Structure 1
Amino acid sequence: MIVNLPKKDDPFKENIEKITRELANQSFPELDENEQKEHFEKIKENLPKLEDKIRELIDSLKTDILSCDTKQILDYFSALYSFSTPDTVAVDMDSDRSFKLDYLHSLITAISSSNSKECDEKILHNIDETLEKLKIQSLLYLMFTSDFNGEPNQIKFLQSLHHMVVRGDSYSEHKIQMCRELFSKFDEVLKSKYNITSNALIDELINIANYPIKNLEIQKKYFDEMMMAHKDFVQQAEQIHSEEESAAFLEKYKQSDSLKHTNDKLQKIHDETGVSFNDSIFKIHETSLPHEILEQLSIGLGENTDFQNGKIEYFPTNNTHIYDKPIVKISEEYYCYNSASMYYNLQSLLENILLDMIPQNKHQKNYYKKKGEYLEDQSLELIQQILPGCDVYKNLKYGVDDEVDGIVIYDNHIFIIESKSNKFTLGARQGDINKIKRNTKDIVEKAYQQAIRAKKYILSNELVEFRNKNKKTVLTINRKDINNIYLINATLEPLNHISSDLSSLKEFGFIQDDEWIWSIYLNDLRIISEIIELPSEFLVYIERRIKYNDFPQIKMAEEIDIFGYFLSEGLYFDDIDFPKSGFMLNIDSSFSKNIDLYYHWKEGALNEVQKKPAFFDGCKNNIKFLVEKIEKTNKKNFSILTKFLLSLDCYTHELIKEQITLIIKSQRTDFHTYIDNANIGVVFVSKKIYTYDQLYQQCELYAYERKINNWFVIIIDNDSIDFEQFYYENKPSELLEEKVAGLKKYRLQQTLEAKKKVGRNETCPCGSGKKYKK
Structure 2
Amino acid sequence: MIVNLPKKDDPFKEDIEKITRELANQSFPELDENAQKEHFEKIKENLPKFEEEISELIDSLKTDILSCDTKQILDYFSALYSFSTPDTVTEDMDSDRSFKLDYLHSLITAIGSSNSKKCDEKILRNIDETLEKLKMQSLLYLMFTSDFNGEPNQIKFLQSLHHMVVRGDSYSEHKIQMCKELFSKFDEVLKSKYNITSNDLIDELINIANYPIKNLEIQKKYFDEMMMAHKGFVQQAKQIHSEEESASFLEQYKQSDSLKQTNDKLQKIYDETGVSLNDSIFKIHETSLPREILEQISIKLGENTDFQNGKIEYFPTNNTHIYDKPIVKIGEEYYCYNSASMYFNLQSLLENILLDTIPPNKHQKNYYKKKGEYLEDQSLELIQQILPGCDVYKNLKYGIDDEVDGIVIYDNHIFIVEAKSNKFTLGARQGDINKIKRNTKDIVEKSYQQAIRAKKYIISNELVEFRDKNKKTVLTINRYDINNIYLINATLEPLNHISSDLSSLKEFGFIQDDEWIWSIYLNDLRIISEIIELPSEFLVYIERRIKYNDFPQIKMAEEIDIFGYFLSEGLYFDDIDFPKSGFMLNIDSSFSKNIDLYYHWKEGALNKVQKKPAFFDGCKNNIKFLVEKIENTNKKNFSILTKFLLSLDCYTHELIKEQITLIIKSQRTDFHTYIDNANIGVVFVSKRIYTYDQLYQQCELYAYERKINNWFVIIIGNDSVDFEQFYYENKPSELLEEKVAGLKEYRLLQTLEAKKKLGRNETCPCGSGKKYKKCCLRK
TM-score by length of 1: 0.98
Per the TM alignment, residue 646 of structure 1 is displaced from its structure 2 partner at its CA by 0.1
Aligned to 2:283, the other structure's residue is in SS state coil
Going from structure 1 to structure 2, the CA distance change for 1:80 and 1:669 (only over 3 Å counts) comes to same
Q: 1:451-499, CA deviations, whole angstroms, 9 ceiling, x for partnerless residues?
A: 0000000000000000000000000000110000000000000000000
Q: 1:294-339, CA deviations, whole angstroms, 9 ceiling, x for partnerless residues?
A: 0000000000000000000000000000000000000110000000
Query: How far apart are the structure 1 equivalents of 2:771 and 2:317?
Result: 76
Going from structure 1 to structure 2, the CA distance change for 1:27 and 1:765 (only over 3 Å counts) comes to closer
Query: How far apart are the structure 1 equivalents of 2:574 and 2:254?
Result: 81
Query: How far apart are the structure 2 equivalents of 1:673 and 1:261?
Result: 80
Q: Is the 8 A contact 1:715 1:723 kept in 2?
A: yes
Per the TM alignment, residue 4 of structure 1 is displaced from its structure 2 partner at its CA by 1.6
Aligned to 2:451, the other structure's residue is in SS state helix
Per the TM alignment, residue 43 of structure 1 is displaced from its structure 2 partner at its CA by 1.4
Q: 1:509-541, CA deviations, whole angstroms, 9 ceiling, x for partnerless residues?
A: 000000000000000000000000000000000
Q: Is the 8 A contact 1:668 1:769 kept in 2?
A: no
Query: How far apart are the structure 2 equivalents of 1:754 and 1:417?
Result: 56
Going from structure 1 to structure 2, the CA distance change for 1:607 and 1:769 (only over 3 Å counts) comes to closer
Going from structure 1 to structure 2, the CA distance change for 1:495 and 1:767 (only over 3 Å counts) comes to closer
Match of 2:666 in 1: 666
Per the TM alignment, residue 384 of structure 1 is displaced from its structure 2 partner at its CA by 0.0
Q: 1:552-574, CA deviations, whole angstroms, 9 ceiling, x for partnerless residues?
A: 00000000000000000000000
Per the TM alignment, residue 234 of structure 1 is displaced from its structure 2 partner at its CA by 1.1
Going from structure 1 to structure 2, the CA distance change for 1:254 and 1:155 (only over 3 Å counts) comes to same
Per the TM alignment, residue 276 of structure 1 is displaced from its structure 2 partner at its CA by 0.3
Query: How far apart are the structure 2 equivalents of 1:351 and 1:762?
Result: 67
Aligned to 1:240, the other structure's residue is in SS state coil
Q: Is the 8 A contact 1:667 1:770 kept in 2?
A: no
Going from structure 1 to structure 2, the CA distance change for 1:758 and 1:513 (only over 3 Å counts) comes to closer
Per the TM alignment, residue 25 of structure 1 is displaced from its structure 2 partner at its CA by 1.1
Q: Is the 8 A contact 1:73 1:119 kept in 2?
A: yes
Going from structure 1 to structure 2, the CA distance change for 1:738 and 1:235 (only over 3 Å counts) comes to same
Q: Is the 8 A contact 1:668 1:767 kept in 2?
A: no
Query: How far apart are the structure 2 equivalents of 1:765 and 1:477?
Result: 46
Q: Is the 8 A contact 1:561 1:592 kept in 2?
A: yes
Query: How far apart are the structure 2 equivalents of 1:769 and 1:93?
Result: 43
Going from structure 1 to structure 2, the CA distance change for 1:113 and 1:620 (only over 3 Å counts) comes to same
- Structure 2 runs not aligned, ≥5 long: 775-779
Going from structure 1 to structure 2, the CA distance change for 1:536 and 1:257 (only over 3 Å counts) comes to same
Going from structure 1 to structure 2, the CA distance change for 1:685 and 1:326 (only over 3 Å counts) comes to same
Aligned to 1:392, the other structure's residue is in SS state strand
Per the TM alignment, residue 749 of structure 1 is displaced from its structure 2 partner at its CA by 1.2
Per the TM alignment, residue 201 of structure 1 is displaced from its structure 2 partner at its CA by 0.2
Q: Within 5 A, what are the aligned runs for 1:650-729?
A: 650-729=650-729
**Higher relative contact order (CA closer than 8 Å, sequence separation 6+):** 2
Query: How far apart are the structure 2 equivalents of 1:606 and 1:680?
Result: 45
Q: 1:24-73, CA deviations, whole angstroms, 9 ceiling, x for partnerless residues?
A: 11111112222211111111122111111100100000000000000000
Q: Is the 8 A contact 1:668 1:768 kept in 2?
A: no
Match of 1:285 in 2: 285
Going from structure 1 to structure 2, the CA distance change for 1:763 and 1:54 (only over 3 Å counts) comes to closer
Query: How far apart are the structure 2 equivalents of 1:41 and 1:692?
Result: 74
Query: How far apart are the structure 2 equivalents of 1:754 and 1:381?
Result: 56
Aligned to 2:406, the other structure's residue is in SS state strand
Q: Is the 8 A contact 2:13 2:576 kept in 1?
A: yes
Per the TM alignment, residue 363 of structure 1 is displaced from its structure 2 partner at its CA by 0.3
Per the TM alignment, residue 755 of structure 1 is displaced from its structure 2 partner at its CA by 2.5
Aligned to 1:581, the other structure's residue is in SS state coil
Q: 1:697-736, CA deviations, whole angstroms, 9 ceiling, x for partnerless residues?
A: 0000000010000000000000000000000001111111
Query: How far apart are the structure 1 equivalents of 2:762 and 2:709?
Result: 38
Query: How far apart are the structure 2 equivalents of 1:685 and 1:515?
Result: 39
Going from structure 1 to structure 2, the CA distance change for 1:387 and 1:56 (only over 3 Å counts) comes to same
Q: Is the 8 A contact 2:3 2:769 kept in 1?
A: no
Going from structure 1 to structure 2, the CA distance change for 1:745 and 1:325 (only over 3 Å counts) comes to same
Q: Is the 8 A contact 1:667 1:768 kept in 2?
A: no
Going from structure 1 to structure 2, the CA distance change for 1:410 and 1:593 (only over 3 Å counts) comes to same
Per the TM alignment, residue 199 of structure 1 is displaced from its structure 2 partner at its CA by 0.2
Q: 1:312-371, CA deviations, whole angstroms, 9 ceiling, x for partnerless residues?
A: 000000000000000000011000000000000000000000000111111000000000
Aligned to 2:477, the other structure's residue is in SS state strand
Q: Is the 8 A contact 1:667 1:769 kept in 2?
A: no
Going from structure 1 to structure 2, the CA distance change for 1:656 and 1:683 (only over 3 Å counts) comes to same
Q: Is the 8 A contact 2:671 2:684 kept in 1?
A: yes
Query: How far apart are the structure 1 equivalents of 2:763 and 2:141?
Result: 76
Moved more, 759-768 or 632-641: 759-768
Aligned to 2:766, the other structure's residue is in SS state coil
- Structure 1 runs not aligned, ≥5 long: none
Q: Is the 8 A contact 1:211 1:282 kept in 2?
A: yes
Q: 1:236-266, CA deviations, whole angstroms, 9 ceiling, x for partnerless residues?
A: 1111112122111111111111111111110
Aligned to 1:418, the other structure's residue is in SS state strand
Moved more, 743-752 or 615-624: 743-752
Aligned to 2:663, the other structure's residue is in SS state helix
Going from structure 1 to structure 2, the CA distance change for 1:583 and 1:768 (only over 3 Å counts) comes to closer
Matched, 1:368 2:374: no
Going from structure 1 to structure 2, the CA distance change for 1:471 and 1:574 (only over 3 Å counts) comes to same
Per the TM alignment, residue 756 of structure 1 is displaced from its structure 2 partner at its CA by 3.2
Going from structure 1 to structure 2, the CA distance change for 1:368 and 1:628 (only over 3 Å counts) comes to same
Q: Give me the identity figure in percent.
A: 94
Aligned positions, number: 774
Aligned to 1:460, the other structure's residue is in SS state coil
Q: Is the 8 A contact 2:3 2:767 kept in 1?
A: no
Aligned to 1:595, the other structure's residue is in SS state helix
Query: How far apart are the structure 2 equivalents of 1:770 and 1:749?
Result: 19
Query: How far apart are the structure 1 equivalents of 2:185 and 2:176?
Result: 15
Query: How far apart are the structure 1 equivalents of 2:46 and 2:333?
Result: 46
Query: How far apart are the structure 2 equivalents of 1:502 and 1:537?
Result: 23
Q: Is the 8 A contact 2:168 2:344 kept in 1?
A: yes
Per the TM alignment, residue 757 of structure 1 is displaced from its structure 2 partner at its CA by 6.0
Per the TM alignment, residue 177 of structure 1 is displaced from its structure 2 partner at its CA by 0.1
Q: Is the 8 A contact 2:416 2:451 kept in 1?
A: yes
Going from structure 1 to structure 2, the CA distance change for 1:48 and 1:655 (only over 3 Å counts) comes to same
Match of 2:326 in 1: 326
Moved more, 660-669 or 235-244: 235-244
Aligned to 1:722, the other structure's residue is in SS state strand
Query: How far apart are the structure 2 equivalents of 1:307 and 1:484?
Result: 50
Per the TM alignment, residue 406 of structure 1 is displaced from its structure 2 partner at its CA by 0.1
Aligned to 2:757, the other structure's residue is in SS state coil
Moved more, 253-262 or 610-619: 253-262
Q: 1:604-635, CA deviations, whole angstroms, 9 ceiling, x for partnerless residues?
A: 00000000000000000000000000000000
Query: How far apart are the structure 1 equivalents of 2:763 and 2:34?
Result: 78
Moved more, 232-241 or 596-605: 232-241
Query: How far apart are the structure 2 equivalents of 1:770 and 1:168?
Result: 49
Aligned to 1:610, the other structure's residue is in SS state coil
Match of 1:237 in 2: 237
Going from structure 1 to structure 2, the CA distance change for 1:762 and 1:148 (only over 3 Å counts) comes to closer
Aligned to 1:465, the other structure's residue is in SS state strand
Aligned to 1:552, the other structure's residue is in SS state coil
Aligned to 1:495, the other structure's residue is in SS state coil
TM-score by length of 2: 0.98
Match of 2:132 in 1: 132
Query: How far apart are the structure 1 equivalents of 2:482 and 2:251?
Result: 92
Going from structure 1 to structure 2, the CA distance change for 1:121 and 1:761 (only over 3 Å counts) comes to closer
Going from structure 1 to structure 2, the CA distance change for 1:357 and 1:761 (only over 3 Å counts) comes to closer
